Structure 1
Amino acid sequence: MVASKSLPPPICSPHQLMAMAHAMERESARRYRELAARMRLRDEMALASLFDFLASIEEKHASHITTLTEDALDQSIDLAQAAWEVPENFDEEAGSSHTLTPYLALAIAVRNEERAFAFYTYVAAEAPDERIRTIAEDLAREELDHAALLRAERRRAYHAEDGTRQPRPAIPATTDEFWTISLREEWRAARYHRALGRVLTDLGRDAAPFIAAAADEEACANEAAALTGQAVPEIASEGRPTVEGGLRLLEEAFERYSDIAERTGDEEVMRVSMDMATRALRRLSLTLGSLPAAR
């Protein structure tokens, strides 16, 4: 999932941050190469080629970071500074699915870039000085640009696939429709994260990140309820909540609002969806940074 198995120590220098960035790109490339090999064993040559392509993109990103480090910091990448375990940005379970299609493979890639974006956003927020903050913000913007390019490829793959795929969610035509969707989904996520907080508390684990996420989701739902004149909905229990499920809901919120902002033709819907995407990203970033262990 998004968070690392062990949170890296505080990033105290630009060189340390660049080493971390380089390690993250190389790790993503390695995972894509592994998936390409798996696809070839299944005789899924189109998917194998796609994962090889994605791996080459990550390798180019790593090379760019190496060049940037040498040019801007006048020093080579020191891999020893990234000796801790890098964040697990790669969705390997989804990538191993036998129902995988080019569209879904690209959706995995988009999510991986968004996870890296969330990580760098958190680093920027916690940076001890302005130079580290600036570099982290630049890296975050690059990841967002990468995600935008992959989104374009994902759209093309979607249109190329046949009718067996699951349809993408409809885009709200008005802000009223947007807030109705937001009310339901934010309240649903809040109930799940509240329940997860109780489970983690009973286990003696830190529940604060998910409790904070639930509080913000409840605030979003109440704002949507006030704007639409609706009451918060009744939400059925989804079974025993897990950290993985809690993180997935945080990711899905960011993905949902980003997708609406990308696809809508209405300027007001675009504005409110971008605002909500920013808010969802903040929840995701804070949770990512606060979890000492994701499992």
Structure 2
Amino acid sequence: MPLLRASLLRSEPAGALRSLDELFALAHAMEREAANRYDGLAEHMRRQGKEDLAGVFTQLAAAEREHVDSVTRWSRSRRGKDPDPALVRWEAPETFDAEAATEVKTSRLMTPYRALAMAVRNEERAFAFWSYLAAYSEDPEIKKASEAMAKEELGHVATLRKERRRAYHREHDRKSVDGAQPQVDARRLELRLAAQLADLERRLTGPSAARTRELLDETVGMADEAAGFGSFPGALERKDSLEIAEALVDGYLDGAERSDDAPRVETLQRLAEKAISRLAWLRSLAAG
């Protein structure tokens, strides 16, 4: 459990549940919040004209509303009443990744696969939350109900993982059909990004220039580590630094997730961490 909590929950629950009524109220509030957030993302995607992504988030919102209804039915069967929002005494740890949701709105490379990957992580956090409460609850009734909630969330994870895999294959197959275009590996993109960072450094002064120089040196080193990894559209070499940096983050994360080779996974995770930090810096410069 400590490993699960450390890897999925950003903070421990702020308190303990004192009754089943509180448990149902909290579960109801969490599921409703997730539904509202997915609805918001769907509307945002529609305003951007991204109907495929709007459809994904609409389906996710509908699934969360089914979870809301399920908690309501469970509360009625056990307590004879609907969950009472007034009984939510403390804020649950963040199971919906707000940072990822913000990225959905701004990313130029967002796909149904990546949207579903975010949803999987959200459900995994919810599973970890209820597992934590089940493990540390001293009330047998609350422990049993928390275990049931955790089991329910695990079922949601399994369903979304299947949907994510289907989305991946659809995107991969489409690229295979569309793409007689030349492909490049991660090393080639890293070196292209290094050249753009060198240009950027020349235009900056002070601490910004120094930080960009650090990233430039790190990128050259990452290029050596990334040699032979990945297959990216050659057209990416003509994109700006932000788009290349974002594509590399996705490549490393996806590669680490799909690989069964432990040393390779470790290398890709290390590259992903550096690439994420680099992308955050480039975004901060663009925002400034």
- Please indicate the TM-score interval, normalised by the length of the shorter structure: 0.5 to 0.7
1:14 Cα deviation after fit: 1.4
Percent identical: 41
TM-score (norm: length of structure 1): 0.56
What CA distance in whole angstroms lies between the structure 1 residues aligned with 2:44 and 2:23? 32
Look up the match of 1:35. 41
- 1:23/1:86 contact within 8 Å kept: no
Give CA deviations for 1:118-156 in whole Å, capped at 9, x if unaligned: 000110111121111111011001001001001111011
Per-residue CA deviation, residues 194-243 of structure 1 (Å, 9 max, x unaligned), is xxxxxxxxxxxxxxxxxxxxxxxxxxxxxxxxxxxxxxxxx9x969x9xx
Counterpart amino acid of residue 108 in structure 1: M
- Aligned pairs for 1:70-81 within 5 A: 70-81=76-87
2:117 to 104, 107, 125: 107
Letter in 1 for 2:90: W
Distance 1:153 1:72 in 2: 32
Aligned partners of 1:127 and 1:133 also within 8 Å: yes
Q: 2:18 aligns with which of 6, 12, 16?
A: 12
**Residue equivalent to 2:75:** 69
Q: Name the aligned partner's letter for residue 120 of structure 1.
A: W
1:24 equivalent among 27, 30, 34:
30
1:144 equivalenced with 2:144 (yes/no): no
1:48 alignment partner in structure 2: 54
Shift in Å at residue 183 of structure 1?
7.1
Q: Return the index of the structure with the highest Cα Rg.
A: 2
2:78 counterpart of 1:87: no
Tell whether the 8 Å contact from 2:259 to 2:265 is kept in structure 1 after alignment. no
Question: 1:49 aligns to what SS in structure 2?
Answer: helix
SS in 1 for 2:15: coil
Q: Judging changes above 3 Å, is the alpha-carbon distance between structure 1 residues 152 and 238 closer, same or farther for their aligned structure 2 residues? A: closer
Provide the rounded CA distance (Å) in 1 between the counterparts of 2:168 and 2:78. 39
Match of 1:123 among 112, 133, 137: 133
Compared CA separation, residues 127 and 168, structure 1 to 2 (3 A): same
Which one-letter code corresponds to 1:88 in the other structure? E
- The one-letter amino acid paired with 1:48 is A
Task: Write the distance in 2 (CA, Å) between the matches of 1:136 and 1:117.
Answer: 10
Per the TM alignment, residue 12 of structure 1 is displaced from its structure 2 partner at its CA by 1.2
Partner of 2:245: none
Structure 1 residues 129 and 46: CA distance shift in structure 2, 3 A? same
Offset, 1:76: 2.4
Gaps of 5+ in 1: 189-234, 242-295
| 1:171 alignment partner AA | S
Distance 2:137 2:150 in 1: 13
After superposition, give the CA deviation of every residue in 1:88-112 in whole Å (9 maximum; x if it has no partner).
2112332324221100000011100
Residues 49 and 15 of structure 1: CA distance in aligned 2, closer, same or farther (over 3 Å): same
CA 1:41 to 1:69, structure 2 compared with 1: closer, same or farther past 3 Å? same
In 2 relative to 1, CA 33–21 (structure 1 residues): closer, same or farther, beyond 3 Å? same
How far apart, CA to CA, are the structure 2 residues paired with 1:185 and 1:103? 19
- What does residue 171 of structure 1 align with? 259
